[in-house]
Amino acid sequence: MILEQLPALIVVTPLILSLVVNVVGLWDKRLCFPIVAVTLFACLIWAIGILWRVIDHGTIHYCFGNWQPPWGIEYVIDHLNALVLVSVAVVSLLVAIYAKRAVDQEIPESKLPQFYTLFLLQVTGLFGITATGDMFNLYVLLEIASFSAYAIIAMGERGADFAAFRYLIFGTIGACAYLLGVGYLYILTGSLNMADLTQLLPKLFYSKALLVGFSFFLVGVGIKMGIFPLHTWLPDAYTLAPSTVSALLAPLYTKVGAYVIIRIIFTVFDPSFSIKLYPVMDILGWIAAIGIMFACIMALAQSDLKRMLCYVIVAEMGYILIGIASANRLGLTGAILHIVNDMFMMACLFTVAGAIFYQTGTRNIYQFRYLHRTMPVTLAVFVVGALSVVGVPPMCGFFSKWYLILGTIQAEKWVLLAVLLISSLIYAILFFRVIENAYLEPREAHASAHDSGHPAVTLDKVPWSMLVPMLLIAAGIILLGIFSGKIIMHIIQFAVPESL
């Protein structure tokens, strides 16, 4: 019985509990965190249940209030969104556990209930975007996720208010563009149910209005996922947000946007629309190539670890776009695998950045000297994440990059292949620069330096509640790498449309 309600439960549970947290927080602020942790743990169980059912029985259709589609809102969960749901659930639970101590340090106590309310609302939005099978419902949930993101980012350090303002303007224009796209589809077809649209749209493929609507979708979702020319809100917003918030938003929000774009291009519109009829894939490929190179160069210029990682996200979104632009099975497999992998890699790196800030109060890469003596565990986690982003086996980043590269070779898009390889080299420079600053000690001019300046090797002073989630995420990166073959065989190969 409960198994059938899972698609609704995964959205409704955090939604209701987000209100409960706020009310309970007025009474006792210490209760907020346990409620959030239990809620997200429940969501993880729901997500795993959904994935298990999808693998066993195929696509799940859930009609809200038993209103049959296309009149009612339908949640449709196939292999693609089941995988994204589980990843979002795992990462948000680990980040929530990690958040406890960092939040105590960074957010004033009086604001804790509001913080946790927004945290849960954010997760609600992300789950909803992933689960829904209705274009307009997706808009509403996109806005729920965005509003909570604006507000929660504004809680950050000095300058966060303006970053949140800019994000608000950009994000709202993006949502507006998406909504206009929804309007166009509605005018043309009279329906907004994704499965319904899949049937109705091919007859209209030569309509100019449909092309305009499609472009609005791409721009709208492009702003939300921060692809290259539309990314300008991203570095400020994620750098200046509280470290927990960047650890939650940076891995999840943009990746869920990438999921939406895959859903629109490959499910709602038939793949032939953007492959054969219009040169959408070529345009996306060029945008991705320019964006990756731009983001890599900008990342090289940063001395703030978090800001550097923000540009890495922009580049990673380019990677996913390259997978989409390859327009073949291998490329799309790589793109979907990269969505999952990138959630873990970015969660890993941003939690590390938060932990370093927690203990030392700095994010400047050049002040990381001797950090391997005072924070050995945190830095080990960082190295796992960094190697994964660079693409060293057996970390997961290698495998998705492998598929992306195979995809570009099969599509004979050599520029994209070159961009993938060059950007990996730039990643190596980027991350080894951090590792060098943190691990290698300058050779002192005099032997007397033995007793001065070298802190003794100690375990990290970061609390265990932060270290354990970080270690789990790092373990996740390695496990995802080792089991990537199984994930592709049992899940992703069914998520790639047959016609590719």
Partner 1 sequence: MLFSVPPMYYLIVSALIFAIGAVGVLIRRNAIIIFMCIEMMLSAVNLSLITASHYLNSLDGVLMVFFVMTVAAAEAAVGLAIFVLLYRGRRTIKVDEINLLKW
Selected from 89, 154, 384, 406, the binder of partner 1 by CB under 8 A is 154
- Applying CB under 8 A, does 190 fall inside the site for partner 1? yes
Shortest reach from residue 186's CB to partner 1, in Å: 5
- Applying CB under 8 A, does 315 fall inside the site for partner 1? no
- Applying CB under 8 A, does 157 fall inside the site for partner 1? no
- Applying CB under 8 A, does 172 fall inside the site for partner 1? yes
Shortest reach from residue 314's CB to partner 1, in Å: 10
Shortest reach from residue 457's CB to partner 1, in Å: 37
- Applying CB under 8 A, does 151 fall inside the site for partner 1? yes
Contact region for partner 1 (CB under 8 A) — 5-13, 25-33, 60-68, 162-170?
A: 162-170
Nearer to partner 1, 141 or 324 (CB): 141
Cβ-count burial 185-216 (b if 16+ within 10 Å, e if not): beebbebbbbbbbeebbeebbeeeebbebbbb
Selected from 8, 161, 205, 435, the binder of partner 1 by CB under 8 A is 161
Selected from 236, 270, 342, 460, the binder of partner 1 by CB under 8 A is 236
Q: How many residues bind partner 1 (CB under 8 A)?
A: 34
Shortest reach from residue 165's CB to partner 1, in Å: 5
Selected from 41, 52, 136, 439, the binder of partner 1 by CB under 8 A is 136
Shortest reach from residue 377's CB to partner 1, in Å: 32
- Applying CB under 8 A, does 63 fall inside the site for partner 1? no
Q: Which two tokens stand for residue 346?
A: 């970015």
Could you list the residues that contact partner 1 (CB under 8 A)? 136, 139-140, 143, 147, 150-151, 154, 158-159, 161-166, 168-169, 172-173, 175-176, 179-180, 182-183, 186-187, 190, 192, 232, 235-236, 298
